[in-house]
């Protein structure tokens, strides 16, 4: 049966009402809904299409007429539909906020619309990815290939081409990357920061970047490589380029590398490259259990969270290191009052520098090489006839004074142990000794002092006040012995970069040509990234041939 509703004095244009009629007619409990303004022409249409209702007789051209054809005599349907009309009109008036970005149908037009494009994100069916990626490389763009089912020969071809041109190919089958503020495919909203992540593992990149963000740090970039990059066949071509890029990137202070274990031949070259980035690096080869974990500036880890946490620590160390004047000498001296603290510092240094720690502990030496020395001042030798250095700092103060004549010393590692039984002001004692020693050394031979402050805020010495005393004396505080050692290592490692390619991809805000899944372009636009979406569809061979001819016929 037919029922009608009039909405007086609510003019809407006919297109809006045609859309409404179509949408409402598809509702389950009605056969047909017709919504029009009450003009005489429209009243004729109501009649001709069998939708006339006598209530329309009085309608004026400014009245919205709704006629509902529904089963049965349920007046509720008409009310429901009328309410729907009002609701939908209100929703239309509000409008939707669609991300605005240009859409192109040809690669040439996409480049015209975004002349500064430097990356193509390709997510078309695998069989077409190679051709499009080649076109992008030829146009000087870096490429990320989300598509899988790309043959290993095609991958090698693309990566060799890219290598020649100083461009990066991420993928194929690369699901995650973040370049600057641009989330590419599967990625999280990670704050900007000093850590660059490079990886052949999509969720690995996501987990590590998220852990970094939750650790209070951010990332500069996260570059994907594709699962096969570290195979024997591909030989880590993209890994090499990506690491060159981050090595040269000012904003990347720390590098994290995540992948499954690389092929044996690739592994050696990759480790070599990671050691020579001139930046602290963390590497995680999932499932790998390395015996040795620290190699100078490179640290191997076993789990994703460990990699992320270490990277966060290294980034903090970088911040501290940036405030330290350049060293004139590289010798590390450790003067610890706590034996275990001395022992840990010695072990970590020995592993990182490939030295052997001193097992005999003669004269309290935990590490003794031509260059570096770490002493446990709690050793019996030093406590004979005098109190333990945690109670009486005199002995250590003397040794600190003695450093005034040690021209090879560049870094002093110390501990300050608070708590019951300890000296009432160990920080004050240390600060005074350090100041005296520095005065004696003079400005030409600066020494960096890094203290490990063992204590809690409830301790009788007042942790915060002790920390302030150290800081006022220009003594750096490390959160742990490991952090102190990391900082020391950072300071003595030359920032030497063997190969680095400064890529505009990392140094300029990214501009992306998106080919394939439209949603990726939406995400980029909503993150204020310049993007053009290239609507692409496969064509027959004949059409492809004609296309090439048409492009060249002038």
Chain residues binding other proteins by CB under 8 A are: 13, 15-16, 18-19, 21-22, 25, 32-36, 41, 44-45, 48-51, 95-96, 98, 100, 102-106, 108-109, 113, 535, 537, 539, 542-543, 546-547, 549-551, 553-554
Q: Which is nearer to other proteins, 189 or 547 (CB)?
A: 547
The region that residue 68 occupies, defined by phi over 0 for left and psi between -120 and 50 for alpha, beta otherwise, is beta
Q: Which is nearer to other proteins, 32 or 401 (CB)?
A: 32
Burial of 11: CB neighbours in 10 Å, binned 0-12, 13-18, 19+? exposed
Instruction: Label residues 254-280 b or e (16+ Cβ within 10 Å = b).
Output: bbbbbbbebeeebbeebbebbbbbbbb
| CA-to-CA separations, 311 to 37, 250, 301, 315, in angstroms, rounded | 66, 17, 10, 6
Judge contact between 255 and 246, C-beta under 8 A: yes
Question: Least distance (Å) from other proteins to the CB of residue 116?
Answer: 18
Q: Which is nearer to other proteins, 34 or 147 (CB)?
A: 34
Rounded Cα gap, residues 328 and 318, in angstroms: 19
User: Computed over its alpha carbons, how large is the radius of gyration of the chain?
Assistant: 35
Nearest to 20 by CA among 82, 88, 80: 88
Q: Which is nearer to other proteins, 106 or 507 (CB)?
A: 106
Q: Which is nearer to other proteins, 322 or 550 (CB)?
A: 550
Question: 36 - beta bridge partners?
Answer: 65
Neighbour count for residue 348 (Cβ, 10 Å): 21
Nearest to 379 by CA among 334, 347, 422: 334
Q: Which is nearer to other proteins, 29 or 44 (CB)?
A: 44
Question: Least distance (Å) from other proteins to the CB of residue 88?
Answer: 13
Rounded Cα gap, residues 130 and 150, in angstroms: 7
Question: Least distance (Å) from other proteins to the CB of residue 517?
Answer: 17
Burial of 521: CB neighbours in 10 Å, binned 0-12, 13-18, 19+? buried
Q: Which is nearer to other proteins, 49 or 60 (CB)?
A: 49
Cβ-Cβ contacts under 8 Å for 243 (sequence gap 6 or more): 198, 255, 257, 273, 274, 277
Question: Least distance (Å) from other proteins to the CB of residue 146?
Answer: 22
Rounded Cα gap, residues 356 and 411, in angstroms: 20
Question: Least distance (Å) from other proteins to the CB of residue 13?
Answer: 7
Q: Which is nearer to other proteins, 75 or 549 (CB)?
A: 549
Cβ-Cβ contacts under 8 Å for 223 (sequence gap 6 or more): 168, 170, 177, 179, 196, 197, 198, 199, 242, 245, 246
Question: Least distance (Å) from other proteins to the CB of residue 163?
Answer: 30
Question: Least distance (Å) from other proteins to the CB of residue 132?
Answer: 14
Question: Least distance (Å) from other proteins to the CB of residue 118?
Answer: 21
Q: Which is nearer to other proteins, 12 or 383 (CB)?
A: 12
Rounded Cα gap, residues 167 and 132, in angstroms: 15
Q: Which is nearer to other proteins, 13 or 164 (CB)?
A: 13
Burial of 369: CB neighbours in 10 Å, binned 0-12, 13-18, 19+? middle
Question: Least distance (Å) from other proteins to the CB of residue 28?
Answer: 17
Question: Least distance (Å) from other proteins to the CB of residue 546?
Answer: 5
Cβ-Cβ contacts under 8 Å for 472 (sequence gap 6 or more): 431
Question: Least distance (Å) from other proteins to the CB of residue 51?
Answer: 6
Q: Which is nearer to other proteins, 465 or 539 (CB)?
A: 539
Rounded Cα gap, residues 70 and 84, in angstroms: 15
Q: Give the torsion through C-alpha atoms of 52, 56, 58, 64, to 10 deg.
A: -140
Judge contact between 67 and 58, C-beta under 8 A: no
Q: Which is nearer to other proteins, 72 or 96 (CB)?
A: 96
Question: Least distance (Å) from other proteins to the CB of residue 519?
Answer: 15
Measured at the CA of 191, the angle between CA 185 and CA 194, to 5 degrees, comes to 105
Q: Which is nearer to other proteins, 22 or 468 (CB)?
A: 22
Question: Least distance (Å) from other proteins to the CB of residue 68?
Answer: 11
């Amino acid at each position: 049966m037919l029922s009608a509703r009039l909405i007086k004095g609510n003019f809407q244009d006919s297109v809006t009402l045609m859309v409404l009629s179509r949408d409402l007619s598809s509702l389950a409990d009605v056969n047909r809904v017709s919504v029009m303004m009450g003009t005489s022409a429209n009243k004729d249409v109501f009649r001709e299409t069998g939708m006339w209702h006598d209530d329309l007789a009085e309608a004026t051209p400014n009245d919205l007429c709704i006629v509902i054809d529904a089963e049965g005599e349920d007046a509720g349907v008409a009310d429901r539909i009328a309410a729907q009309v009002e609701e939908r009109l209100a929703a239309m008036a509000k409008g939707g906020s669609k991300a605005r970005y240009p859409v192109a149908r040809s690669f040439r037009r996409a480049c015209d619309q975004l002349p500064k494009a430097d990356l193509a994100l390709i997510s078309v069916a695998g069989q077409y990815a190679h051709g499009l990626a080649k076109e992008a490389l030829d146009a000087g763009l870096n490429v990320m290939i989300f598509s899988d089912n790309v043959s290993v020969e095609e991958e090698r071809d693309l990566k060799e081409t890219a290598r020649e041109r100083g461009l990066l190919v991420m993928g194929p089958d690369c699901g995650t990357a973040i370049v600057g503020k641009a989330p590419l495919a599967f990625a999280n909203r990670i704050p900007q920061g000093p850590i660059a992540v490079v990886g052949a593992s999509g969720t690995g990149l996501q987990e590590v970047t998220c852990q970094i963000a939750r650790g209070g740090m951010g990332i500069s970039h996260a570059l994907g490589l594709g699962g096969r990059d570290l195979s024997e066949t591909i030989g880590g071509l993209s890994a090499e380029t990506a690491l060159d890029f981050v090595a040269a990137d000012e904003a990347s202070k720390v590098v994290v590398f995540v992948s499954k274990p690389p092929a044996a031949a690739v592994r050696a070259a990759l480790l070599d490259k990671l050691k020579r980035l001139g930046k602290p690096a963390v590497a995680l080869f999932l499932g790998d259990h390395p015996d040795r974990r620290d190699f100078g500036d490179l640290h191997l880890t076993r789990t994703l969270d460990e990699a992320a946490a270490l990277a966060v620590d290294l980034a903090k160390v970088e911040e501290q290191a940036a405030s330290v004047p350049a060293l004139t000498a590289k010798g590390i001296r450790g003067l610890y009052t706590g034996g275990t603290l001395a022992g840990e510092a010695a072990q970590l240094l020995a592993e990182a520098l490939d030295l052997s720690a001193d097992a005999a502990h003669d004269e309290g030496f935990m590490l003794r090489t031509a260059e570096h020395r770490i002493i446990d001042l709690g050793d019996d030798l030093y406590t004979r006839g005098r109190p333990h250095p945690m109670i009486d700092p005199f002995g250590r103060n003397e040794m600190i004074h003695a450093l005034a004549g040690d021209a090879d010393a560049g870094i002093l590692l110390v501990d300050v142990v608070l708590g019951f039984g300890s000296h009432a002001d160990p920080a004050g004692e240390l600060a005074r000794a350090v100041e005296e020693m520095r005065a004696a050394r003079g400005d030409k031979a600066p020494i960096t002092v890094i203290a490990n402050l063992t204590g809690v805020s409830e301790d009788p010495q007042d942790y915060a006040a002790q920390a302030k005393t150290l800081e006022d004396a220009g003594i750096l505080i490390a959160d742990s012995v490991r952090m102190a050692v990391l900082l020391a290592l950072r300071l003595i490692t030359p920032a030497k970069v063997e190969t680095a390619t400064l890529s505009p991809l990392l140094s300029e805000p990214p501009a992306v040509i998106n080919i394939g899944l439209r949603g990726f372009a939406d995400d980029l636009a909503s993150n204020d990234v310049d993007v053009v979406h290239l609507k692409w569809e496969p064509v027959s061979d004949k059409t492809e041939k004609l296309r090439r001819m048409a492009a060249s016929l002038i």
